Amino acid sequence: MKSQEPTARKRKGFVTVYMVFATFTLIPMVGLAIDFSVLYNVKGRLQRACDAAVVGAGNEVQRSTDVTNPTQNAALKDAVQRFFNANFLPSPWASSQLNYSSSITQDPTTKIRTVYVTATYSVPMLFLRVLHINNSQVGASATANIRFVNMIIVVDRSGSVQRTGSPATITTDLLQFVATPLTSIFVNGRDVVGLVSFGGSYKLDFAPTTNFQTASPNISTAINSIYFDTNNSTNTGEGLYQAWYQLTQLNQVGALNVILLMTDGRPSAFTSGLSGFSATSAPYCTDKTPKLGFIDSPVANPFPPPTNRGTNGVLKVTPACTGSGCESSDDVANDYGCHFRTDATRVSDDISTIPSLIGPITNTTGTYVPWKTTFPSTTGFYPGGGTNVSNAVSVRYAAFNYADNVATAIRTDATYQPVIYAIGLNFNTTTYPSEEPLDADWLARVANDPDYKNSVTGLPVFQTGQTPGKYYNVTYSGLAGALQNITSQILRLAQ
């Protein structure tokens, strides 16, 4: 019988040779994996530090009045580095900086500000030294584009605000929001702020300007001078349109363009449009020319009002009233002989039909929206309301349609992409049972709030393909909180 020992000895020798060769292969592979893990860790930390630097310093860049000023630019670059250091130092794995740079620039046309940071570090290798690879390099960079803000505030000064709300609360909270440097994110000298108020008429209370806090008069003066009156109606469409018009005239496509709407009720008035209200067949009006103004219908709780509530006379849209009660009697100029001149409820004696196209009278020759000067009166939010001026429901539905169609035009403006923030101010309906509460579902639709669900159907109100905004359904005591949240929303969108 032959012994198997030599064969076994040969196998042991083969295993020894295999392990020697495997050692020369596996050790570098393990070393490579470990060193690559180190590089991956440093690269991740470095990228997070760059991201934190541009985002963290973004708020200071957003507040700066002139990033092209050498002193301000140097201070901003220092802020970028401080945020970078806070998120990276001490350097992991004994890595050392090879280069670091940052820049803050502003586009001369769009005014968009760009914060850029880049960094490269050398990382010592652990196991790859056996292959004479002592160090490897990793780099990262980050960019943040920061827009300045163009904002038009649109304040409802209708009668219900005066009767049920607190104009003083609106005034105080708006001053904190936009007029006080210590509490406002908006920077005088850089951002643009304007103010429009509306009842049945509208008023450009404060033309948009960068020097909104230091001009004379300034935004504080305008806010304190908003004229709230118990006789004002609610021409929401006119307020929205005039705010949009002001944004288009600024013609700054790179800005974050914002419309902030504050209202406590449903639309109750609308403007006639370019063609006016026709009085050509009226037996009473001496002047048969079209009446360029607005009409409204009394409010009612519950909504809609009874059809026989009547319609008020054709009133001036602009200039807005400045005296007590003038909006309810400030009729259009060419109204001699018209019944509504002496009795506002008899407008149907002179005007029989609501025009199929209604809209603003002034500011209709703007450089951007010449085709958006009229809007359908019988289609939109309430189709099928009819055109009978003597029917209060028809008038109210036309008022809704005007405002709704204007809001749709704003949300589909692909050039300036205005964002609408709508604040619905609720009052105590038990204390004021005859007052007409607001329509939260409709205001959420105006803002195109992606998070809001219809209170009846439970379905979203968000309309795809249109600029999203946000709706705030609050009481007067919640106004300050809503404005604070809008501050956060604007900061997020501006960076």
Taking only the tens place, the pLDDT of each residue in 306-324 is 887 778 888 887 655 555 5
Average pLDDT in the 169-189 region? 94
pLDDT at 372: 60
What are the CA-CA distances from residue 235 to residues 136, 204, 277 (Å)?
A: 67, 14, 16
Write the pLDDT tens digit of every residue in 14-58: 555 555 555 555 566 676 788 899 999 999 999 999 999 998 898
Cα of 47 vs its chain's centroid, Å: 31
Report for 101-110, 227-236, 436-445: range of highest mean pLDDT = 436-445
Q: How many CB atoms lie within 10 A of CB 409?
A: 17
Span 381-394, mean pLDDT? 90
Per the DSSP assignment, residues forming a β-bridge with 315 are 294, 331
- pLDDT (0 to 100) of residue 370: 43
Residue 486's SS3 state is helix
Is the pLDDT score of 274 beyond 80? no
Decide: 95 and 123 in contact? Cβ < 8 Å.
yes
Question: What mean pLDDT comes out for the span 189-205?
Answer: 91
Residue 315 is classified by DSSP as B
472: pLDDT confidence band, cut at 50, 70 and 90? very high
Eight-class DSSP state of 344: T
What are the pLDDT digits (tens) for 214-269?
999 999 999 999 988 888 889 999 999 999 999 988 888 888 999 999 999 999 99
Residue 459 has pLDDT above 70, yes or no: yes
| Amino acid type, 352 | S
Handedness of CA 144, 145, 148, 153 (dihedral sign): negative
Neighbouring residues of 177: CB distance < 8 A, sequence distance ≥ 6: 183, 184, 483, 486, 487
Percent of the chain exceeding pLDDT 90 equals: 58
Report all structural domains of the chain as residue ranges with CATH numbers, in order of start. 15-146 (no CATH), 149-494 (3.40.50.410)
Reply yes or no on whether the pLDDT at 366 is more than 50: no
Show the DSSP H helices in 131-203 as ranges: 159-164, 167-174
Q: Give the whole-angstrom CA distance, residue 240 versus residue 407.
A: 7
CA gap 354, 281 in Å, rounded: 14
Backbone φ, ψ for residue 169 (5° rounding): -65, -45
Helices (H), 130-218: 159-164, 167-174
Q: For a pLDDT cut of 70, what percent of the chain falls above it?
A: 89
